[in-house]
Structure 1
Amino acid sequence: MSGAPPRRGGRVSRTLSGLVLGLGCVLLLGGFVLAAVLYQPYTVPTDSMAPTVAAGDRVLAQRIDGGEVRRGDVVVFTDAEWGPSPMIKRVVGTGGDTVACCDDQGRLTVNGDPITEPYVEEETGASPMGFSAEVPEDELFLLGDNRGDSRDSRTLLAETGTGSVPRDAVSGRVEAVVWPTGEAGLLDRATGFADQPGGVSGEGPLRPLFYATSAGAALILVGAAWGGIAHRVSRKGRRGVRTSGVAHNEGTHG
C-alpha cells in the first residue's frame, strides 16, 4: 500500500512531461514552418542600402503582394530595367505621388511634404542630385539609403525618363537582419511617411514567430528534464516498495 502514491505520481509526471514536450514540438516546428512559408531569406549584394543594411548582410523578407507595399518599406523586387537579379531598395513614392529633392533644408519631399529620413547616409543626405518625378499609377519610386552610391529610380529617371517599377515586381518586404549576429534585429519603421495617405506598414509576424519557437525550445528542454526527474523518482519509489516488502516479510517470519 505504501508504494502506490509514488507510482501514481510517477505516471502523472510522465504524462505531463509528454504533454509539455508535445506542445514544445508543435510551437517549435510550427514556428519554423510558418516562418519558411511567410518569409524568404535574401543576401544583400551591395552597400546601396547602407547604413540600414550592408553588403553581405542576411535579411528576412516577408512575402507580400505588391498591393501591400507602403511608402518607407524596404522591398525586394525584380525588374528587367534594373537587371536580372533581385534588388533591395526603399519605397519613397507610390502611384500618383510627386517625389522631389531637395527642399531648402536638403530634405526629400513627397507631394510637397518634407520627409524626415534618419536612415539615410548622413554624408550624402537625401540626395546629392536634384530630381522631380511623378509616379505612374500602380508603380513605385525606389531609392537606396546610401544616396551617394545607389543605382535607383533617380538613375533610371535620368537615363530613360522614368525610374519607377510596377508594384507586382515586388516579392517581399524586408523585416529583419539576421546576420551578422551583431547587427541582427528588426528594421525600424519609416515613420517619416506616416502622414502620407495609407500611412506606413505595421510590423509583420516575425516577432511572434520568434517568441513561439523560443517558447517551444524552452518547453522541450523543460519537458525532457521533467521526464528524467519523474523517471528517477519513480525508480526510487519502486525500490522503496521492494525494500519495505522485504523488511515486512522478515519481520513476519521473525
Structure 2
Amino acid sequence: MGGESTTDTAPRGSGATTGPAGSRTGQRLSGLVVALGLVLFLGGFVWGAVVYQPYTVPTDSMTPTVGAGDRILAERVDGTDVRRGDVVVFRDATWADSPMVKRVVAVGGDTVSCCQDGKLKVNGKEMDEPYLPSGTAAESSHFAGVTVPEGRLFLLGDERRTSLDSTAHLTDAAGGTVARSAVDARVEAVVWPLDGMLPRPSGFAELGALSPPGPLRLVLGAVAAGVVLILAGAAYGPVAQRAARSRARTGSDGVR
C-alpha cells in the first residue's frame, strides 16, 4: 500500500506543476521573438524602400563598375550632398530623356582636364582611378581645363572610350556640366549580379571628404536579423513538443 502511494504522487508533482507552466512561458517568449522578428523584417524592407531606389543600367558606359543590364540600388539624396567620386543617377533633358548613371569627377569651383600623363587632373592634381578599365583614361577624349560653375557637376563614365558624358557636351551652353538639382540618387550597390557595395573612390579623398556610406548595411542587417528571429521563434513549438515527449518517456521508464 505504501509503495503504491509513492508511485502515484511522484509523476503528479513533477509533470503537472512544472510542465504546463513552463510551456506557457515558452510560448509567450516564442511569440515575442516572432513579433520582434516581424518588426525588424518588415521595418527593414520599408526603410529600404523609402531610402533606396532600384534602377537598371542600360549601357556599358560605367563598366567595369556597373555593367549593362545590371540592377543597382541608389540612395535618394539631395544634389547638394553629392561629392567628388560619387556615382550618381541624374536627369538632364539636354543629355537624354531617361535617367543616366555617371561618376562625379569635379564640383562647382573645380578645374578639370584630361589626360596629361594618361590621367585625369582636378585642381592641378592627378587622380588615381583604380575603377577604370586598363588604358581608359589615356584613350578617352582629351580636353583642356574646364572650370565648373558653382552649383554644377562635371561627370564622366568609367568606360570613357564609349561614354557619352560631360566631354560630349563641352560645346553646350553649360560647358558639359549638370546642375546639382538634376541628381536623383547616389549609387551604393550592384544587387544583380551580386557584386555588392561599390568600392570607395579613395583617389578623390585628397580633394576633400568623400560621401559617407548610406544605411544599406543596416537595412540588410535588420532584415536578416528579422528572418533569424522569426525562424527561431517558430521553431520553439516543435522543439518543445519533442522535449516534452522525451521527458514523458523518461518519466514513464522511471515509474516502471
Does the TM-score normalized on the shorter chain lie above 0.5?
Answer: yes
Number of aligned residue pairs: 240
Q: Could you say which residue in structure 1 is the equivalent of 2:213?
A: 203
Offset, 1:161: 6.3
Structure 2 equivalent of residue 220 of structure 1: 230
1:68 matched to 2:78? The reply is no
Name 1:229's counterpart in structure 2.
239
Secondary structure of 2:18's counterpart equals: helix
- Aligned-residue sequence identity (percent) comes to 55
In the TM superposition, 1:239-254 aligns within 5 A as none
Shift in CA distance, 205/161, structure 1 to aligned 2, threshold 3 Å: closer
Structure-2 change in CA distance of 1:106 and 1:37 (3 Å): same
In 2, Cα distance between equivalents of 1:179 and 1:30: 23
2: distance between equivalents of 1:90 and 1:99?
14
CA RMSD between the two structures: 2.1
Give 1:252's aligned residue. Answer: none
Separation of aligned partners in 2, 1:187 and 1:32: 21
Q: Map 1:106-117 to 2 at 5 A.
A: 106-117=118-129
Q: Is the contact between residue 120 and residue 137 of structure 2 (CA under 8 Å) also seen in structure 1?
A: no
Tell me how far apart the structure 1 counterparts of residues 247 and 210 of structure 2 sit (CA, whole Å).
62
Partner amino acid, structure 1, of 2:214:
G
* Pair 1:12-2:22 in alignment: no
* Structure 2 portions without partners, runs of 5+: 1-12
Partner of 2:4: none
- Deviation of residue 160 (structure 1)? 5.1
**Which amino acid is 1:91 matched to?**
V
SS at 1:202's partner residue? coil
Indicate the residue corresponding to 1:185 in structure 2. Answer: 196
- In the TM superposition, 1:1-254 aligns within 5 A as 1-3=13-15, 4-103=17-116, 105-125=117-137, 128-131=140-143, 132-158=145-171, 162-181=175-194, 184-197=195-208, 199-233=209-243
Q: CA deviation at 1:128?
A: 2.2
TM-score if structure 2 supplies the norm length?
0.87
Q: Quickly say closer, same or farther: Cα 1:213–1:94, change in 2 above 3 A.
A: same
Partner of 1:251: none
C-alpha distance in structure 1 between counterparts of 2:68 and 2:115, whole Å: 27
Q: Which amino acid aligns with 2:206?
A: D
